[in-house]
Every structure is written in structure tokens, then in C-alpha cells.
Structure 1
Amino acid sequence: MARAHRPVFLPPAGYRRRRVRDAARLLPVLGVVLLVVPLLWTRSDQPGGVGNSVALIYVFAVWAGLIAGANLLSRLLRRDTEDDADEDGRDPSA
């Protein structure tokens, strides 16, 4: 009896879609880790310490980076969802 031939790998579009979803799920975890980093720095009153202004600039930069990353991931997810709806023949706006 011959077995039906199944592809070993996922189709590239499906694989990419899953990786984008995984990245969207990990973005909050990455944000927490990056926002906790200033708590590990030495205080500014100690030699070689980091000042409050540098820490605030770092937190703002991480915050802006998380917003940009979330925007990029949402656009990628939206485009994949619209592509799936087009392939299924459904209206993506419904």
C-alpha cells in the first residue's frame, strides 16, 4: 500500500504567519525584560552609576520601540488575514 505524499515542510506563507503570531505574543515579554533593565543599573550617587536622565531616555526609547514593533506586527498580521480571506473568497472587511 502506497502512502499519500505529504510535504515535510509547511508552506512558506503559513510558516511566516505563525512566526509573526509568535513574535506578537513575545513582544510584551520582551517589553517587560527591557523595562526592568534600568533597575539593574547602579545608582547615580555611586561611582560609575547611571543618571536618572539616561534611565528615562532609555525607558522612553524602549517604549517607542515597542510601539513601533507592535505597529509593524499588527500590519503584518492584518495583511496575512486579508490574504487568507481573499484566498477563501470571503470579504475581508466583514
Structure 2
Amino acid sequence: MSFTIATTIDEALTALGKGARPIAGGTDLVVGARHGKAALPADLVAIDRIDELGGVELDSTGVRVGALMSHAELMTDPVIVGSYTAIADSS
């Protein structure tokens, strides 16, 4: 078993290219393994320290919500609360 902590997208892609599974916490993997739903993958790459996967960006075409944004962060983000209330309300 290997565990890689990626801090850049390139690091994550390199590890994923070798067959690793991405995780951002991994609770679901552990719970699933304990209940016999699925074995833990042999190789994991943590993506939760990749800054580019978080945050909210607003530009002339709309809003980009990072894949690592939590529901709690979306509910309180000024851009989301101010201009995209449906997203904040659904979080």
C-alpha cells in the first residue's frame, strides 16, 4: 500500500496515472472497508492539500466552485451568498 500527499495538481496526476485512487479525507473508504462493501485501494493519493481545488472564483463568465469546497464553506462564502443564493441555500 502507498499513500501520497499531493500539494499540486501535477503531483496528484502523476500518482493517479499509476493507478492510485484520489481521496480528500477518506472516511467513506474506511467505513466501506469495515462493513465489507469494498476493500481499501492499494494506492491512495490525498488531494485535500491542493490549493487550486478549493475556493470560489468569480469572473465575467460566472462562478467556479472548487471541488474541495465544503457545504459549510459554500453557505458562508461572500460571493456565493451575495450572488448565488440558490447554491448557498442548497448547501
**Range class of TM-score, shorter chain:** under 0.3
Looking at CA atoms only, which structure, 1 or 2, has the larger radius of gyration? Answer: 1
Higher strand share: 2
Higher helix share: 1
